[in-house]
Chains A and B, each alone.
Chain A
Amino acid sequence: MKISHDWLRAFVPHTLSPNALGDLLSAHVATVDAVAPLRADLAPFVVARVVESEKIPDTKLSFNKVDDGSGELLEVVCGAPNVVVGTLYPFARTGTVMPAGITIEKRKIRGFTSNGMLCSARELGLGTDHDGILALTVDVPVGTPLLTAMPIGDTQIELDVLPNRPDLLSHYGVAREVAALTGVNTVLPDEIQNLPAMPSAKSGASTTMAGDITISVEDLAGCPRYVAVRISGVKVGPSPEWLAERVVSVGSRSINNVVDATNYILHAFGQPVHAFDAAKLAKTAIVVRKAKAGETLVTLDGVERKLESWMTIIADGERATALAGVMGGRGSEVTEHTTDILLEVALFNPRDVRKVRRALNISTDASYRFERGVDVTRTDWMAAQAAGLIVAVAGGAITGVADVGAALPLPAPVTLRVDRLTKLLGASVPEEDVERLLAAIGFTVEPSAHRSYAVQPPSWRHDVTHEVDLVEEVARLRGFDLLPDALGSSRPGTVPDHALFIVGNRVRDALVGAGLAEARPMPFTKGGDSEVYARVANPLADDEPFLRRTLLDTLARRAEYNLNRQQGNVRLFEVGSAFIPDGKGLPREEVRAAVLVMGASRPPHFTDAKPPAFDAWDVKAIAELIARSAFPGERIALVAAESEPTLWTVYAGDLEVGTVSRVALDAPVWAAPAFGVEITLGVMSSAPVTARADEATGAAALAQHHVRFVPLPTTPAAEFDLALLVPNEMPAAEVERVIRAGSGAMLEQVTLFDEFRGTGVPDGKRSLAWRLTFRHPERTLRDKEIDGRRSQLLKTLETELGVVPRTA
């Protein structure tokens, strides 16, 4: 909402500067986004002093030396007769764009160089005086920007009006707030005092006459009240200067006196007003009705609109001629030839206007206000202002007024309990302040039983429906900053940390410790099939309308992004959501941890100039790291997968939780192979909450795995190595299982430490070497015992697996 500081002061003659007013509004009413001079185009102009001046012979020109504060005197040729040495003038340096659009450049005139221009009032767009350059009487240093040196023109205040406060969408509405905050009363601006009076209206429940025109409202739900004013003999033409200025001051364009007058009422009072050319209304009738199937209307913007039968429209005796509350029709537009007007000042149903506006995708100043709600009781008063203003600026006479339907009821009264106010704000507000502040913005405050008030909101405040709304009014008008802010004590809450937060953080920390970089990419993907992927119904761009099923899908695209930038060492991880369509309703949301690594597995060092690239064993370790961090105390197993690209399936206990895989990328030839891990940490339920959690549930979510202490050994260990010839197709894990089973209770540790193929190892086999560690809890093991165990174990391996020791 653009507010003109001058126009606002016409409604409430306060004495604050634009910036001070902006601060006041921000603190108590609504956020001020900007306070800017309306004549921002004058920003480059500076104040300069003429230091020397001499006439150029045989011309009207003078050659001057000008001090613009830049440190050196500028040579400037001037055509005005009134240059006075020592006087300050507005000065345009070279490069300055004049309000008329011309850029001032360095040029030669009669052999003299001119580096800029001394300006007249007219050249600055400050009136029509062209008697010469504008002598300034300000006392500022040369070089001061003109806008800083003196007040020039109006200031525009950009107010961020949120949807609950449509009453602020007008100068009068903002003025009411300023009046309440400053104690200065609102008045009607001079320009609309003493307007020609509007004769009293002919009322009708659903139909009556406005002069010669029949006004009928068939759709009273869509249009509860319709005031029509018939004005004859107007002369459409340019607006008087004051009216054009008002319209321009809020960022509109001056069109003609009739249209400008309707815009004046809209911006002054927030009531949209529409003027029809009465001569263009068929059968001298206005009918407010639903559109007929197949009906069309060319709106003021020249677009032919297909109307739907649920849309409220304004028709003449034959066809649609305006979209109710949204936009007029081209067919009944007021033009320079118009002499007869029908003025429409009405109430339209906010929801209906919103629906039409959305369906046809046209937002106007009128629809914006009707959607949010206008003053529901003062429609006739608004009509009188609008009609009077038109007659005042365009002539003519009011020849009939119709008032169909009725004013809507005031918003329902709301009770405000003083104790509740104190309780919610944490501070008591003197009762006289409560009454005074609410009354100041138009509420009727009646003391009621038990230290409470019955508060009647005014006709323009549809947002005040609950006691808390009144609490907000009191709090903001006094100022939030007046409330105390000492930190008190508080009880601990009943909510335990979410388990997925705890797990997610543990995994994050582990992966950062492992040298990986966290990514937080977006989950959108090209996807493919709506059966398999959840799809966004209204994506802004069509290239990625689906939600990912796997985090690796996203990380793979992020890796390619890096490869495109010649970054081949990629170590990314993410903790985020995967979305799995679940038949009907919301997709199942799984919180997962995923890793993508490729390139050097460690930084190069002078002892290790070409460190190896990440391989399957590195990612297997990363998968184990994630699983151990996520599922402490669970048995973690990585089982070889049936077929690539999946390398292993990850189990935590009996639960399959994820995979380790090779990742196919759109990669350049120099890129190293990519590997991925994706592990599901848990499901984020989107089901409705149906029951309160008891405390046990909360405690269970927090259950932690605690390590059990094992006493430290007091006896020495004994160890030996087994180098075995294992067929290529036999998994090492199978051999290890037999070793463990056949080693007895004193086995402490089994470590696979070598794999060898080549000399001395038959084809089809490999040599695998394990180190076995034994320990007796109470005494030192004898060599004989160890040797016996070793030969026993070799016998078992041979019998069960046919595996023999490597001899060479």
Chain B
Amino acid sequence: MSLDEFKAACHSLSTDGPALIAAAADQDAWASVRNMLVGRTSGRLSSIMATLAKLPPDTRREAGQLANTVKVELERLLDEKQIALAAAAPSAVAFDRSMPARATWRGSLHPVTIVIDEIAAIFRELGFTIALGPEAESEWYNFTALNFPADHPAMELHDTLYLEGGGLLRTHTSPVQVRTLQKYAPPVRILAPGNVYRRDFFDATHSPMFAQIEGLAVDEGINFADLKATLTHFAHRFYGATRRTRFRPSFFPFTEPSAEMDVEVDLGDGRGLRWVEIMGCGLVHPAVLTGAGVDSERYTGWAFGMGPARIAQSRYGIPDCRVLFDSDVRFLGQFAV
């Protein structure tokens, strides 16, 4: 056999094939057409391929490529035809692949956990680790060590739930700052997520318990510019690289200078970008460092605190915070993986 004869056979197959495939009226016809064209033992393609070995060696490569092109095209047409046949006569199909999968239940993380995880992931890239502390805390860790003046209006910023027999339910995650600084020498770079408590009625915008996430960096040479840089980096990662941030003066007994960070955020309510207060922050007050046994002349630090529940509410469009606590399976199921 010559190369030309081989080519002619291929050409003939590539001319006849598509017409035969198109003419197949049902699955049975399709199967016999497939056998005739590309069947492994008696198909026309196989017969052609069998002649390949008889060709002059220097032409085999070209011939093989040609035959393969024909094969690929025919198989493509066969697949398309099969799908078309299946769609055209579903009732005739024993194996109806339009039917649903045998699924397992889909689990879900709570939206507040999703937000905490995402915040943590961004800070973990910057070398932050996770510290935790107790929710039932002493007044010393919750207030005294954080430079809250005793019997001062500053205490009114935190409406506190006290425990019988002493202690309280922590009003913020900031006690973890003190515990960490007491236990580990600088450099310290931690995040402390957790539940905190306030003496608030449970309504659409308040809850006696909510999640908070604290950040703390203490080392030599930590300064306000570093704080701004880190938190702005966070905002860009979390909300988008083009979001603007701004810092405004604020007051927390345990930071000085203190600031609020606003980010220009689109809350998805059709009102476009607007400034939203995201977190409180500031340089760690030297009294806090000294109280925790850190040399406040040598080491400086910054800290921040933010509310992942509020962030989750705005991100997912949840108007009433109570649904975060109700544990309605229909709500939680909306966050299924």
- Highest count of chain B CB atoms <10 Å: which of A472, A520, A589: A520
Could you say which residues of chain A place their CB within 8 Å of the CB of B211? Answer: 520
Could you say which residues of chain B place their CB within 8 Å of the CB of A26? Answer: 248
A680 to chain B, nearest CB (A): 15
Q: Is the CB of B329 within 8 A of A28?
A: no
Q: Which of A449-477 contact B (CB under 8 A)?
A: 466, 468-469, 471-472, 475-476
Given A423-B300, A424-B223, A490-B219, the answer on whether A586 and B188 have CB atoms closer than 8 Å is no
Q: How far is it, in angstroms, between the C-alpha of A354 and the C-alpha of B333 when the chains are bound?
A: 49
The segment out of B12-20, B49-57, B80-88, B152-160 that lies at the interface is B152-160
Could you say which residues of chain A place their CB within 8 Å of the CB of B190? Answer: 493, 495
Q: Which of B112-164 contact A (CB under 8 A)?
A: 112-113, 126-138, 140-141, 151-154, 156-157, 161-164
Given A425-B225, A517-B107, A520-B324, the answer on whether A534 and B188 have CB atoms closer than 8 Å is no
Q: Is the CB of A585 within 8 A of B107?
A: no
Partner of A518, one of B108, B186, B233, B246: B108
The segment out of B30-38, B64-72, B266-274, B279-287 that lies at the interface is B279-287
Q: How far is it, in angstroms, between the C-alpha of A442 and the C-alpha of B332 when the chains are bound?
A: 56
Q: Which of B201-238 contact A (CB under 8 A)?
A: 201, 207-209, 211, 217, 219, 221, 223-226, 228-230, 232-233
Is A27 engaged at the interface, CB distance under 8 Å to the other chain?
A: yes
The residue on A at minimum CB distance from B188 is A493
Could you say which residues of chain A place their CB within 8 Å of the CB of B130? Answer: 497-498, 501
Is B169 engaged at the interface, CB distance under 8 Å to the other chain?
A: yes
Kindly count the residue-residue contacts between A and B in the assembled complex, taking CB atoms under 8 Å apart: 297
Partner of A487, one of B129, B230, B328: B230
Chain B interface extent, by class: 35 or more
B88 to chain A, nearest CB (A): 23
Given A493-B129, A689-B179, the answer on whether A534 and B163 have CB atoms closer than 8 Å is yes
Q: How far is it, in angstroms, between the C-alpha of A608 and the C-alpha of B131 when the chains are bound?
A: 46
Which secondary structure dominates chain B's binding surface?
A: mixed
Q: How far is it, in angstroms, between the C-alpha of A471 and the C-alpha of B187 when the chains are bound?
A: 23
The segment out of A162-170, A295-303, A337-345 that lies at the interface is A162-170
Given A466-B286, A520-B112, the answer on whether A684 and B102 have CB atoms closer than 8 Å is no
Could you say which residues of chain A place their CB within 8 Å of the CB of B329? Answer: 517, 562, 567, 569-572
Q: How far is it, in angstroms, between the C-alpha of A86 and the C-alpha of B195 when the chains are bound?
A: 65
Q: How far is it, in angstroms, between the C-alpha of A501 and the C-alpha of B248 when the chains are bound?
A: 33
Q: Mark A683-727, 1 if CB is under 8 A from B, else 0.
A: 011101101110000100000000000000000000000000000
Partner of A585, one of B167, B208, B336: B167
Q: Which of A1-58 contact B (CB under 8 A)?
A: 26-31
Q: Is the CB of A476 within 8 A of B249?
A: yes
Is A380 engaged at the interface, CB distance under 8 Å to the other chain?
A: no
Given A495-B184, A692-B185, the answer on whether A515 and B107 have CB atoms closer than 8 Å is yes
Q: Is the CB of A607 within 8 A of B102?
A: yes
Could you say which residues of chain A place their CB within 8 Å of the CB of B107? Answer: 511-518, 571
Given A476-B249, A481-B247, the answer on whether A519 and B327 have CB atoms closer than 8 Å is yes
A557 to chain B, nearest CB (A): 9
Partner of B332, one of A371, A519, A691: A519
The residue on B at minimum CB distance from A587 is B136
Is B103 engaged at the interface, CB distance under 8 Å to the other chain?
A: yes
Q: Is the CB of B229 within 8 A of A685?
A: no
Q: How far is it, in angstroms, between the C-alpha of A592 and the C-alpha of B228 when the chains are bound?
A: 37
Q: How far is it, in angstroms, between the C-alpha of A569 and the C-alpha of B335 when the chains are bound?
A: 16
The segment out of A150-158, A537-545, A750-758 that lies at the interface is A537-545
Is A71 engaged at the interface, CB distance under 8 Å to the other chain?
A: no
Is A603 engaged at the interface, CB distance under 8 Å to the other chain?
A: yes
Given A475-B257, A585-B167, A689-B182, the answer on whether A466 and B208 have CB atoms closer than 8 Å is no
Given A426-B226, A567-B330, the answer on whether A688 and B138 have CB atoms closer than 8 Å is yes
Is B259 engaged at the interface, CB distance under 8 Å to the other chain?
A: yes
- Highest count of chain B CB atoms <10 Å: which of A371, A492, A518: A518
Q: Is the CB of B199 within 8 A of A538?
A: yes
Given A163-B154, A468-B286, the answer on whether A519 and B131 have CB atoms closer than 8 Å is no
Q: How far is it, in angstroms, between the C-alpha of A561 and the C-alpha of B329 when the chains are bound?
A: 10
Is B337 engaged at the interface, CB distance under 8 Å to the other chain?
A: yes
Could you say which residues of chain B place their CB within 8 Å of the CB of A501? Answer: 130, 132
Is A523 engaged at the interface, CB distance under 8 Å to the other chain?
A: yes
Q: Is the CB of A472 within 8 A of B258?
A: yes
The residue on A at minimum CB distance from B153 is A163
Sampled A-B contacts (25; CB under 8 Å): A27-B246, A27-B248, A31-B250, A427-B225, A466-B285, A480-B257, A484-B228, A490-B127, A493-B129, A501-B130, A508-B109, A512-B107, A515-B106, A516-B105, A519-B327, A522-B207, A522-B208, A523-B135, A537-B164, A561-B327, A572-B327, A585-B167, A684-B132, A686-B137, A693-B183
**Chain B residues at the A interface, C-beta cutoff of 8 Å:** 99-100, 102-110, 112-113, 126-138, 140-141, 151-154, 156-157, 161-167, 169, 179-180, 182-190, 195, 199-201, 207-209, 211, 217, 219, 221, 223-226, 228-230, 232-233, 246-251, 256-260, 283, 285-287, 293, 300, 324-330, 332-333, 335-337
